[in-house]
Every structure is written in C-alpha cells, then in structure tokens.
Amino acid sequence: MQQQYVFLLLERNPLREVIAAAAATAAATTAAATTAAAGTAAATAAAAAATAAAAAAAANRLRRLGEQQQQQQQQQQQQQQQQQQQQQQEKQAQQQQQQHHQQQQQQQQQQQQQQQQQQHQQKQQQQQQQQQQQQQQ
C-alpha cells in the first residue's frame, strides 16, 4: 500500500526523479540496516553500492533538470528577441507610412500653390485685357 502511495506521489510531483532517488536511497538504507542486524557483510556492501548508485542517479537527474531549465531560458530569450524585432519592424513600417503621408501632403500643398499662382496669373491677364479694351475704346 505504501509503495502505491509513493508511486502516486511520483506521478504528480514535478521533481519525481529526485524523489525516486531519495526513495531508492531510503530503501537501500533500510536494506543495509536489516542485513547489518543479520550480520551479513556482503549485504551491507550491496546496500552501500545501491545507495551510491541511487545518489549518482539523483545527481544525473538534477543535472538533466538544470539543462532543461537552461534550454527553457534560451528559448524565452529567443522569443523575446523575436518580439523585439517584430516591434522594430512595425515601428519602421509606421514611420514609412508617415513619411509617405507627409510626401502626399507636400505634393498636395505644391499643387494648391500652383493652382493659386495660375489663378493669380489668369486674373492679371484678365485685368490686362480689360485695360487694353478700355484703352481701345
């Protein structure tokens, strides 16, 4: 019953590998104590070897967890860089649109000025024609 409970805990715990190593260490220690009471030196040595193996496995698992964390951090940094690049591209696109809009406004202003100049010239021509007609009369 206790073993099932331990396995259920392991399934739910994100650090299940470390807990499994601790459980293996505890089992090895219990085995060592039992065999020591029986006076069997070979069993004690086997339990010590099992404990050492469990400790090595736990160290490997911790190392793998550290590597996974590093990979996750690198991925997050890459995502942040991509987001920054996208934001910069969007800003550049907005600036280009603003420049285009300003150019259009300048062109419209130039056209309006040209129209005003043409209208002024036409008025001057009309005035000159009227003066000529008056002089002829």
Residue-wise pLDDT tens digits, 47-74: 788 888 888 888 899 999 999 999 999 9
Residue whose tokens read 């420049």: 99
Can you tell me the distance from the alpha carbon of 51 to that of 49, in angstroms, rounded to the nearest whole number? 5
Bigger pLDDT: 20 vs 98: 98
The pLDDT of residue 103 is above 80: yes
Phi-psi bin for 27: left (phi > 0), alpha (psi -120 to 50), beta?
alpha
CB contact at 8 A, 46 and 68:
no
> Please, which pLDDT band fits residue 1 given cuts at 50, 70 and 90?
very low
Residue-wise pLDDT tens digits, 6-48: 555 555 555 666 666 667 677 767 766 665 555 566 667 787 8
